[in-house]
Amino acid sequence: MPYIQKRKRYGITVISLIFLLFISVIFSITQGSAGYSVSKVFDILMGNGAPNENKIIFDIRLPRIILAVLVGASLSISGVVLQALFRNPMADPYILGISSGAGLGASIAILFGISFTFIGFSGISAYAFFGGLAAILLVYNIAKIRGSTPTTTLLLSGIAVGAFFSACVGFLKYISGEDLHKIVLWFFGHISESWGDVMTITPYFLVGSITIYIFSRDLNVMLLGEEDAKHLGIDTELVKKIMLGCAAIITAAAVSVSGLIGFIGLVIPHITRILVGPDHRILIPASMLLGSVVLVLTDTFSRIIISPADVPVGIITALFGAPFFVYLLKKRKHEYF
């Protein structure tokens, strides 16, 4: 009976998060230099708006909000996966050097003025995407020991590769001259107003998140440890490969269109775990929803705090995320250490 009550409570939590996401999206659409009432927004969405109103809602605000939903969900689900695989509450989507690899790729594209389109990615986004994937491939191959990849070795390899790529980025910044401002802005994180970026990230997000959810039961077993998971019939190496691949692709796609947005993948899984517990069948969708809500609201705040200028959303997530994470650590440190 307690189990049934728990499942019911978790279901109510997920439904509440869906409702909260809907409210957040509507609120975000109404905010900006041109403010609209909720009723006016619904009129415009139903096709009753003036040409300039349609342009503001459909060409500027909606793609930005949808991209924030996708990026927030992507970073959150990646954080859930990596914290489960490493059984480490400090793991996040950037711990395996993905962010440093993406940053190096983006810096190269900016510095050399590379401009093209490849499978939906613009020049900078494409270099960031493949830089992130190259980083995880390098980390995985360094960590491989006789056909297996111990999580500790994987973690240390990620830190080493990330540090090396960060040093390369630092060198490029040093020689970048007039392009330094563009590189720094990319690293601050941003949510664009482009339907192209939405279309680019969507297939990677859908395939990656669905695959991760299919393996949610295996992630539950992996929390017991690799040896126990093997005794229960789980092919731990296969699960690690698939989960790391999905997390890397989702993160690389998100970073490629948004730059570096910190603390979403680190903090959101913790908050969601408090709300719904450790069962990944519930934790994964709940984290995705909460991550979307938080990034939509954070991006809205970044748009209106010094309107009409935009504050990079990565700065806002760090300003709020870091103190909140410290609060979580102090409140629940007995669970982590």
How distant is the alpha carbon of residue 287 from its chain centre? 11
What is the reported pLDDT for 269? 92
Using alpha carbons, list the distances in angstroms from residue 253 to 43, 47, 75, 169, 202: 34, 32, 10, 19, 9
Averages of pLDDT over runs of 10 residues in the chain (337 residues) are 71 92 95 86 87 91 96 95 85 84 90 73 83 90 82 87 92 86 87 90 94 94 84 87 92 90 90 90 95 96 84 89 78 57
Distance between CA atoms of residues 29 and 38, nearest Å: 9
* 3-state DSSP assignment of residue 35: coil
CATH topology of domain 2-336: ABC transporter involved in vitamin B12 uptake, BtuC (1.10.3470)
What is the reported pLDDT for 323? 85
Distance between CA atoms of residues 16 and 161, nearest Å: 40
What element of type H or E holds 118?
A: strand 117-118
Residue 302 near residue 193 (C-beta atoms within 8 A): no
Residue ranges per structural domain of the chain: 2-336
Distance between CA atoms of residues 37 and 292, nearest Å: 23
Which pair of structure tokens corresponds to residue 18? 């869906």
Distance between CA atoms of residues 177 and 158, nearest Å: 30
Let me know the angle formed at the C-alpha of 274 by 331 and 212, rounded to the nearest 5 degrees: 130
What is the reported pLDDT for 1? 47
Distance between CA atoms of residues 148 and 239, nearest Å: 12
Distance between CA atoms of residues 84 and 184, nearest Å: 32
What is the reported pLDDT for 283? 94
pTM over 0.85: yes
* DSSP tag of 61: I
Distance between CA atoms of residues 3 and 98, nearest Å: 38
Of residues 168, 35, 152, the one with CA closest to residue 95: 152
How many CB atoms lie under 10 A from the CB of residue 224?
Answer: 13
In angstroms, the first-to-last Cα distance of the chain is 32
Which pair of structure tokens corresponds to residue 96? 């395996």
Of residues 131, 89, 79, the one with CA closest to residue 108: 131
Residue 295 near residue 79 (C-beta atoms within 8 A): no
Place of tokens 């790391």: 244
